[in-house]
Amino acid sequence: MPIHVTSEIGKLKTVMLHKPGIELEHLVPEELERLLFDDIPYLETARREHDFFARILTENGVEVKYLEDLTAEVFKLSPQIKEDFLRQFIREGGSTANQYSQQLYELLTEIRDEKELVLKLMSGVQMQELRSAISSPLTNLVRTSGHFILDPIPNLYFTRDPFASIGRGVSLNRMYSKTRRRETIFGQYILEYHPDLSGTVFYYNRDLPFSVEGGDILNLSSHVLAVGISQRTTPEAIEILAQNMFRDPSCEIDTVLALDIPSIRAYMHLDTVFTQVDRDKFVIHPGILGSLRIYSIRPGGRDNTELRVAQLSSPLPDVLASSLGTDHVTMIHCGGKDRIAAEREQWNDGSNTLCIEPGKVVVYDRNYITNRLLEDSGVQVLEMPSSELSRGRGGPRCMSMPLVRETISW
């Protein structure tokens, strides 16, 4: 199952998800902002909604693989791989985790079942679980039993962001927020060691200093990649990503379109305001159109070691049509012409669609205006519930990492 993703719309064959777990129940009000949530989801309902999402995919011929299962399979390959993962995970867990690194390691290695261990890493470790191993009387008195020595990772069900499939390679990302950086360790070990994915080419590495996240990376075609300059992806990271792709003779990408969108939480990634739904159709939040700047990045110089960057004056529809080799593209406005509806439905991930084949998308049912406009444009809409999943600020595209898509003939 080598990675193969050369478009946003080719028939989806294999996808990676993460079913929300106990990490969501470890959210508390005072930690919501730091952990990037707006509210605390009700886990039981969130899991039912996620199962509904996975069922839509499987009923449409998509092979669903779970992050937790892939990681457990990697752990089973070698005790050394598992040890290296645990020590790295603890080392990157922050100062408190490092202070009690050996106690944490011993606690975690007592969990013999690999999947149970993976789920524990995701849900976090509380002070009370190590209390007997901590010989710090002041810490024991001051820290409550519920204090986390190793933080939960509640954003993991947004599998789109830690890495991004690009052709036959990946961008293993450096996350914008420290809260999410350990998420990419799972991707690192899966991509390096899982027999189905080992040998994958890396176009970006999580150890680089500039942030880039998968929600900002859209495969428009085998030759054109769109990347958002956003709250969470920097122009410096885009330059490095472009250079590494252009230098790889096996990579077909010859153009990167950098779309500079407002750097605010509501538009945290490009795919929160813009996704492709068919060969010549896109859904877009109209609120970005007035301020959007577009840059073209192409290889230049000897051995493609330089970048040729130009700001484009053409409007986005013309740039997209030219990039896709078509005369015209249709831009479907999220929320339609009503500004209030547009703002509401964009906030509720109306623009964050997951295309599973040309003209067929998975969407949240709550965005009824956008969904009706999609249907009026000839797009088949597969609706899913979202009362709890949406509290984490992400939609169907955010919750899915395509590993294999069929190639589109343009």
Q: What are phi and psi of 123, to 5 degrees?
A: -90, -20
Catalytic residue among 251, 334, 355, 398: 398
Q: At a CB cut-off of 8 Å and minimum separation 6, what does 355 contact?
A: 8, 9, 12, 275, 276, 277, 278, 361
Cα–Cα nearest to 71, from 31, 16, 111, 26: 16
398 is catalytic: yes
Residue with tokens 């049912």: 365
Which residue is it, tokens 């428009």? 220
Considering only CA atoms, which of 405, 265, 262 is closest in space to residue 347? 265
Q: Where are the beta strands (DSSP E) in 292-388?
A: 293-300, 306-312, 330-333, 354-357, 360-364, 380-384
- Two structure tokens written together for 237: 């990271």
Q: 339 vs 69, 94, 122, CA distance in Å?
A: 43, 43, 39
The two tokens of residue 128 are 């009370």
Closest C-alpha to 158, from 23, 328, 316, 257? 23
- The amino acid occupying position 46 is A
CA-to-CA dists, residue 272 to 14, 210, 353, angstroms: 22, 21, 9
Q: Are 256 and 227 in contact (CB under 8 A)?
A: yes
The torsion angles phi and psi of 275, rounded to 5 degrees, stand at -145, 155
Which distant-in-sequence residues (6+ apart) come within 8 Å of 290 by Cβ? none
Distance in angstroms (rounded) separating the CA atoms of residues 348 and 396: 11
Residue count (the chain): 410
CA distance between the termini of the chain: 24
Lookup: tokens for 313: 């004056």
The Cβ of residue 318 has, within 10 Å, a number of other Cβ atoms equal to 14
The residues annotated with a catalytic role in the active site are: 398
